[in-house]
Structure 1
């Protein structure tokens, strides 16, 4: 059931129908949620024998190698094979004979889920107390939810390249925040996820909607910094974390994968997908500042149609804030269906819906050399300001294995994003009295975006060398319509230290010209990961993009204005493994982002400016320790952003002279350091400088020189505290400049968070209690971009939740 705010934003024509279809599909699938869990039966008799040569060693690696050689999909929790060995396999075996030999004595077995898909599970044995088998199966199965992500350390990423590569193989810096960490931290927004990475920090709060993030000193902007399953995301600020399995952060240029992009990197949000085991989870959360949240998460295979899987998420949040007049109302629905049409063809359908309402909030003031002379709760905007949005996303994916060497992957996404803003704009306060004025503005923005991706992915041997390759094409059609109105006479006077009580008056509005933007971005790309020797790999590729950006003002009758341009972005890297578990790498990559045409009021009006560019040199080391359970990585980099626009007031021109550079060092450790003890820790050093243009010689704003983040947890698996987990962390950064002119600084800070969870049986179900406390020392800290947009960090707060698994 969806809940709406007391003053809901009316849906555009067509949105209600799409929402009703999504809800109807969800109800059809959920009719069978409470049927008993039945293990899949092995229905295929495999008799064909094939020759295998699998070396003795760790069981997990051997199973993965065997599944790859056999051409089947094997899913398993790495904990199941932890510290287990196998004698290997050498000879001709049928598929099931091979599994039996490898698993001999391990206490594990495979069950067949589909014709080409298998799941590794513990064998069920009757205990000495003669407990019946059935209850043991039930209890075990209820733990099987999103199995691979029950670890801190994630070894694979789909963000570093469109070629399937392990993180250790890729010559770039990628960090994956899995569901386990997100659950432990009870994350609410994307900024809560990003806080775990030292080289990523929060710049501002985007007028109170959601955080603007910086990576290696550079802003991840709304249109080019965020992706969902590799597809561009518009309306970033409305992407709910309830729909996510993990978030992958790539630092540095990523144009070869994604086209136009800022040089600091990208965040790739990975959706939850259908699970092999059927489950239903219901969670309710309560917390400080009237935080109220509920979520239903269900997944599995459709009864009697095991080749079809589903994943459904429904969430609702109603919360206030430590800031006066600030609240958040949102409703979320996500649906994913997949179908294994044949052994070689899989089709996935996806749909998201988000309805969000929050006030307009542009923060507080930096005034007279301070920002903390007023309470953190003080709100300076017009109390009737608001931001209401509706975001609907529909899409599909096709994975088609053409043969043993090639497969085709196709993705399509349609996004309909509508936002209605009732803004209040604050003037700079009087330096003596603290008086300032607030005016109103109203605007709506309607975005229709369509994205198509075609990837041909290969794994071949040529001239004695292994080539893992991708050839691809991407097209993005982006249409945006903006309606704006500006107040003509309503100016409200107030004071920083004695805020006025605003009385709303009728607002005379002047309609500004409607602006329509029609943008087309197309790119072709190719990349090859070449195994030169058993220890040395080369990665090389490039992408060519063409784009056109059109705009017109229908109300004025002005002619359409279109900017056309193109760019080529290469990437190259070398990866060397002198000995296990050490890998060394070095890489060069580039990024681009189109500039717009020079406006009509300048002397060089109409000039088409070259795209903004970014280039990076990076070198690093990636290592795996403790039986590949702990990764320790380090990187150094030099990142330059060029072709920034510069306005010459005297000459009345806009030219490309700006250049900004950041150099730094990063160190991170993530994984299990002892049984049950996991850690994620990172440190980043950043040296930034504006090389050319306005503010030459200054440092980047909101770019801390030093940052340290750590999160650790311990799971008790035996003794009196069995099923209890405790966790906590520290998040620290040095002082930063608050604006590009470096006129003021915001102090550094260290914030501490703690939490715990406890699992127990609740009748025939499983219950998980979670408790989280953030900023337990009530540290006062601020972030923001500009003296009139400073946001106080969250004071001490706590939340508790109960999740029941059916």
Structure 2
């Protein structure tokens, strides 16, 4: 019998650590000056005052100047790695202006005549070079110019025949993201399907559910926690919308709406040393550390270490959450040889997590407060340990071989209550409560070769690769009847579980193997690109039941993409992709438990246009995805799941991002869905809308450098999710909702150190709304305050 680990009710250690971190600047830490560090910049051309403000903010220095001296002046921008002095020199070339450093470490803009100096004689001459790195930040710095496409390599968004968004570390940090969904939900086609503080993360991309198990880590599946990923170790989040089977292989949970790849932090050329103190309402305090260094004659060796500890009460009534994480990333870049190794461990211990409900009511009740604990007495504990390594070798200038392997053990222990909403008054019937303890062991591998050559003026990039994921799931599941009723607005505590707890035992095994062959062809000076490829996939599933069940199926999934660039800043694209997904198993709590569903095929058609206007990129896309559907039916309080019929989701996506005006960064998007069912059993729901998919979603995010105080920036995000049907039967509708988040950050110098203060208010107006996922509803998070102070030294 196992017991959940308990922890102190008052996180004294964490509070002391927070106070120490906030006091560090005042204590006067001694560290390397920011001015001498050579950092990477990618700031587009534009008005001189706006570009200078952007550069000073990213460099972490204070800059003062009279707007009259920069009025109507332009600058060519900045791209490459520079010290502060070099950066100012490049931006001010030919302007007759100088940036002069004050005694307090800040800079003042003045004319060369005022200093009695010649600008070209005083400051170093620096050559401006265009950055060829597709992962470099785009205007505004919140997203990158491009990212990885798995076996297809790394490419700019404008050269990609797919819908992709690549969020940078700045985009992650500026919203104080604590989970992947806090970032990727900036896109209207992406939504969180669990409120913060739930039992685990899950998402919806283009109308299709995606579990945390389908998130890749440095290109490998099976390496991410099944509950939530510690985002403190993540440098970049790459999102591909639509089936990503050819590019990444098959996800273990079978998601087809999109693919998410997490890129771990790496040491930069310049040293990284930061400590961040955090606060989350109601009283959770935390501390984060981030250290990175490079070594060797040519700085070929690198190490990046991240650590996190947080403890205290969250915004959910009676909830206490303890989190800890440690990670290390090693890498070697010897020119032709590149190697990396990542390892992390994470632990979470929570009392009272955010629940989910099924509904038998014919009228949707009002959503209760996001602060109300609807299942008083739940517990959750999770532990993850993972290690992954990757090696690349350039055999010659045309041929590269690569290989990667990873191993991950995920364990979780939690309460498993089940309740149904009975009527519009919010009465609930808590049918059962018990334990669901799980252990998932994953081994993942990826190998291949990439060749680059020309034939008759046509550039080719040919890739041949194979990958494998072996995942075994052990669990212990047992429930008992509670016999209690409760209410959403006046919940009753769960009675104690009296059944004995057992150890997880083997239940199922899934083995996914595939082989891929692709060719990317480039014509007419890269104005026409064609991508074609095939991936042969095999899905093997096995259950360790008294009467074992097996399924073994293979299929070939093609992809075809085309990009046409009639002019440099305009891309017209189209693609066809297909995917084979695991059919999966019914849940242990279903009336038909552990039933194996056969693998199923999905396919997508997409066409769109992308335009890069210099500081702003706009995109529009039309898509259609078809997939086999699952139906959950509640019979006498028991859920039965079947796989019948198909879902067809059509959509229109509109998006724009970048730097709209000087100092005003933004992202805006809207998605319109038309989701229908067909070929259902006996035509019962043919032509009806697919449940849990909203009619439309909208997003608007703004980040603005306040002109009245150097170093101050304000931000807001407005999220609108449309109404949706609760189920495929289309008899009960879940209302839509709008949420507003606001925030601010201020960069200052204290005791010689650069300090970044951040403050965010999530769900500013404390809006109560339902979050929808696959036949269940959950409550939203209430108004939440997130504060931090980051000291870079």
| Cα deviation code 1:176-199 (max 9, x no counterpart) | 222222222212222211221011
After superposition, the C-alpha distances for 1:518-539 in whole angstroms (9 at most, x for unaligned) are 3322111011111132322211
Q: Is 1:702–1:784's contact at 8 Å kept on the other side of the alignment?
A: yes
Distance 2:502 2:792 in 1: 53
Once the two structures are TM-superposed, the CA of residue 214 in structure 1 deviates from its matched residue by 1.0
Specify which of 605, 609, 615 is matched with residue 629 of structure 1. 615
Return the alpha-carbon distance in structure 1 between the equivalents of residues 235 and 504 of structure 2: 42
Q: Which residue of 1 aligns with 2:772?
A: 784
Look up the match of 1:523.
514
Match of 2:669 in 1: 682
**Residues 294-317 of structure 1: CA deviation (Å, up to 9, x unaligned):** 211121214878321111111122
Q: Please say if 1:731 is aligned against 2:719.
A: yes
Task: Indicate yes or no: 2:641 matched with 1:641.
Answer: no
Q: Give the SS at the match of 1:182.
A: helix
Match of residue 551 from structure 1: 543
Question: In the TM superposition, what are the counterparts of 1:105-144 in structure 2 within 5 Å?
Answer: none
User: More deviation in 427-436 or 607-616?
Assistant: 427-436
C-alpha distance in structure 1 between counterparts of 2:686 and 2:503, whole Å: 36
2:653 corresponds in structure 1 to 666
The answer to whether the aligner puts 1:536 opposite 2:524 as a matched pair is no
How much does 1:763 deviate?
Answer: 1.4
Out of 425, 430, 433, the position equivalent to 1:437 is 430
Residue number in structure 2 paired with 1:17 = none
How big is the shift at 1:683? 0.9
Give the aligned partner of residue 728 of structure 2. 740
Match of 1:582 among 543, 550, 570: 570
Distance, in Å, in 1 between the alignment partners of 2:78 and 2:593 is: 71
Deviations 1:388-424 (A, max 9, x none): 1101110111121221112222221111111112222
Q: Taking structure 1 as reference, are residues 382 and 574 closer, same or farther at Cα in structure 2, changes over 3 Å only?
A: same
1:297 aligned residue = 290
Deviation at 1:564, TM superposition (A): 1.4
Q: Which residue of 2 is the match for residue 168 of structure 1?
A: 158
> 1:344-368, CA deviations, whole angstroms, 9 ceiling, x for partnerless residues?
1121111111101223542467656
Report the CA distance between 1:429 and its aligned residue: 3.8
For the 8 Å contact 1:702–1:783, the answer to whether it is kept is: no
Question: Which TM-score applies when normalising by structure 1?
Answer: 0.77
Displacement after TM superposition at 1:106 (Å): 8.7
Alignment partner of 1:330 is 2:319 = no
The answer as to whether partners of 2:438 and 2:504 remain within 8 angstroms in 1 is no
Q: Deviations over 1:242-264 (max 9, x none)?
A: 11122121111111123324221
The Cα RMSD (Å) is 4.0
Aligned to 1:11: none
For 2:31 and 2:426, how far apart are their aligned partners in 1?
69
| Map of 1:563 onto structure 2 | 551
Q: Does 1:231 align with 2:224?
A: no
CA distance in 2, matches of 1:680, 1:433: 38
Provide closer, same or farther for how the CA distance between residues 213 and 654 of structure 1 changes in structure 2, counting only shifts above 3 A. closer
Query: Whose relative contact order is higher, 1 or 2, with alpha carbons under 8 Å and at least 6 apart?
Result: 2
Change (3 A) 1:492 1:405: same
Q: How does 1:71-220 map to 2 (within 5 A)?
A: 76-79=40-43, 148=137, 151-159=141-149, 162-205=152-195, 208-220=198-210
Alpha-carbon distance between aligned partners in 2 of 1:643 and 1:792, rounded to the nearest angstrom: 25
Task: Give the structure 2 partner of residue 61 of structure 1.
Answer: none
2:227 partner SS:
helix
Structure 1 residues 365 and 319: alpha-carbon distance in aligned structure 2, compared to 1, 3 A threshold:
farther
SS in 2 for 1:78: strand
CA distance in 2, matches of 1:374, 1:419: 28
Matches within 5 A, 1:32-71: 36=32
Answering whether residue 360 of structure 2 is matched by residue 370 of structure 1, we say no
Q: State how far apart, in whole Å, the 2-side matches of 1:645 and 1:364 are.
A: 16
8 Å Cα contact 1:712-1:729 kept in structure 2: yes
- Distance (Å, rounded) in 1 between the aligned partners of 2:593 and 2:321: 43
SS in 1 for 2:173: helix
CA distance 1:593–1:268, shift in 2 (3 Å): same
Contact 1:708 1:732 in 2 (8 A): yes
1:37 Cα deviation from its structure 2 partner: 7.0
Measured in 1, the distance between the counterparts of 2:379 and 2:415 equals: 5
Q: Decide whether aligned partners of structure 1 residues 321 and 571 sit closer, same or farther in structure 2, where only a CA change above 3 A counts.
A: same
CA distance in 2, matches of 1:480, 1:128: 61
Which of 697, 703, 709 is matched with 1:707 structurally? Answer: 697
Return 448-457 or 321-330, whichever deviates more.
Answer: 321-330
**In 2, Cα distance between equivalents of 1:532 and 1:399:** 28
Give the equivalent residue in structure 2 for 1:66: none
Alpha-carbon deviations, 1:703-741, whole Å to 9, x = none?
Answer: 11111101111225xx65221112212111221122332
Pair 1:301–1:148, CA change in 2 (3 A): farther
> Paired residue for 2:454, among 436, 456, 461?
461
Deviation track 1:720-774 (CA, whole Å, cap 9, x = no partner) reads: 5221112212111221122332222222222222211111111121011112122
Residue matched to 1:804: 791
Q: For 2:750 and 2:340, how far apart are their aligned partners in 1?
A: 35
Contact map agreement 1:159 1:230 (CA 8 A) in 2: no
1:619-648 C-alpha deviation (Å, 9 max, x unpaired)? 1001110xx32211110011111376899x
8 Å Cα contact 1:178/1:246 also seen in 2:
yes
Cα distance in 2 between the residues matched to 1:433 and 1:731: 26
1:501 Cα deviation after fit: 4.6
Q: What residue is the counterpart of 2:236 in the other structure?
A: 246
The answer to whether the Cα contact below 8 Å between 2:428 and 2:485 also exists between their aligned partners in 1 is yes
1:39/1:681 Cα in 2 relative to 1: closer, same or farther (>3 Å)? closer
* Secondary structure of residue in 2 paired with 1:201: strand
Quickly say closer, same or farther: Cα 1:279–1:76, change in 2 above 3 A: closer
Contact 1:354 1:391 in 2 (8 A): yes
1:353 equivalent in structure 2: 345
Deviation sequence 1:258-287 (CA, Å, 0-9, x none): 332422111112222111100211111224
**Match status 1:753 vs 2:741:** yes
Provide the C-alpha distance between the structure 2 equivalents of 1:35 and 1:202, rounded to a whole number of angstroms: 40
The residue that corresponds to 1:19 in the other structure is none
Structure 2 unaligned residues grouped into runs of 5+:
9-28, 49-74, 108-123, 125-134
- Do the aligned residues in 2 keep the contact of 1:338 with 1:349 (CA within 8 Å)? yes
Give the match for residue 397 of structure 2.
404
Q: In 1, distance between residues paired with 2:721 and 2:692?
A: 11
- In 2: Cα distance, 1:349 partner to 1:569 partner: 31
